[in-house]
Amino acid sequence: MGFPFRVDARLVSALAIFLPALFVAGCGTSVERMDTAEVKDLSGAWNDTDSRLVSEEMIQDVLSRDWLLEFTRKHNKKPAVIVGEVLNLSHEHVNVNTFTADMERALINSGKVQFVASKGERGEVREERKDQDIHAAEATRKPMGQELGADYMLKGTINTILDTSGSSQVRYYQVDLTLIGLADNVKAWVGQKKIKKLVKRGNLRY
C-alpha cells in the first residue's frame, strides 16, 4: 500500500509552524458601554433597536389620533387603559414587555391617559390591601372595591414572515397593537409597525 502522491517537506514544515499558532489564539473579556440609541445588530434576531422602533412609532401614533380627544370630550375625564396580552405569533421568543412598558410610560407622562395595573401586577397590590385591612391604622387603611376600572385594553400581536435561501434571509416583522373599548368592544385605535431586515450569514468563520 504505497501512497499515490508526495508532499513537499517545506510545505509540511510550513504547516507545522502554522498549526501550533492555532492553539494559542485567545483573548480576554472586554466591555464597552454603548448609547442605548445606537444600532448594533449582531445575529439579525429581534433586538433592542426593533423594540425601540416599535415603541417610538406606536407612541407617536397613539397620541396623535382622535380617539383621545373624543373620549375626553364625551366623558369629561382621561381614559384609563390596561395592558392586556401582546401575543407573540412570531418564530422568535420575543420579549414584548419592553415596548409595552415604553408605551405605558409615554402615555402616562403625556398626562392624557391613565393606566391601571395589569392582571399580573395587581395581585401583589391586592394582597397588600388585604393585609392593611388587618394591620394598618384606621386613618391610613385603603378600602377594597375602590379600584379604577379600565376603559380600554391594549392588546396586540407580533407576526413574522421569513424567506430564506442559502445563507441569506429576509426577516419581516409586523407588530399590531389595538385599543379595545371594554364597554363596547369597539376598537378605538390600531397601530402598526413593520420592520424588514436582510440577514446574511457568514459562510466562513474562525
What is the rounded CA–CA span in Å between residue 15 and residue 9? 10
Site string for another protein, 52-91 (x = CB under 8 A): -----------------------------------xxxxx
Q: CA-CA distance, 178 to 150, in Å (whole number)? A: 15
Please state, as a whole number, how many other Cβ atoms lie within 10 Å of the Cβ of residue 129. 18
C-alpha cell at 157: 400581536
Residue with Cβ nearer another protein (89 or 186):
89
H/E run at residue 62? helix 48-64
| Distance between CA atoms of residues 103 and 106, nearest Å | 5
Q: Which of 157, 151, 53, 39 is nearest to 99 (CA)?
A: 53
Does 9 bind another protein (CB under 8 A)? Our answer is yes
Quick one: 144 or 162, whose CB is closer to another protein? 162
Q: Does 27 bind another protein (CB under 8 A)?
A: no
Between residue 149 and residue 178, which ones bind another protein under the rule CB under 8 A? 160, 162, 164-167
Question: Could you tell me the smallest distance in angstroms from the CB atom of residue 83 to another protein?
Answer: 16
| CB nearer to another protein: pick between 145 and 206 | 206
- Residue 80 CA to residue 26 CA, distance in Å, equals 56
Least distance to another protein, CB of residue 90, Å: 7
Of 22, 31, 139, 183, which lies in the binding site for another protein, with binding defined by CB under 8 A? 22
Nearer of residues 6 and 40 to another protein, judged by Cβ: 6
Q: Does 43 bind another protein (CB under 8 A)?
A: yes
Q: Which stretch binds another protein (CB under 8 A): 7-15, 103-111, 136-144, 173-181?
A: 7-15
Closest by Cα among 48, 33, 38, 117 to 81: 117
Among 75, 194, 196, 201, binds another protein (CB under 8 A): 201
- For 83, the grid coordinates are 395592558
| Cα–Cα distance for residue pair 25/172, rounded to 1 Å | 38
Q: In the complex, what is the shortest distance from the CB of residue 45 to another protein, in angstroms, rounded to a whole number?
A: 9
Instruction: Give CA–CA dist 81/70, Å, rounded.
Output: 15
111 binds another protein (CB under 8 A): no
| Distance, first Cα to last Cα, the chain | 36
Q: Which residues bind another protein (CB under 8 A)?
A: 1-7, 9, 12-13, 15-17, 19-20, 22-23, 43, 87-93, 160, 162, 164-167, 201-206
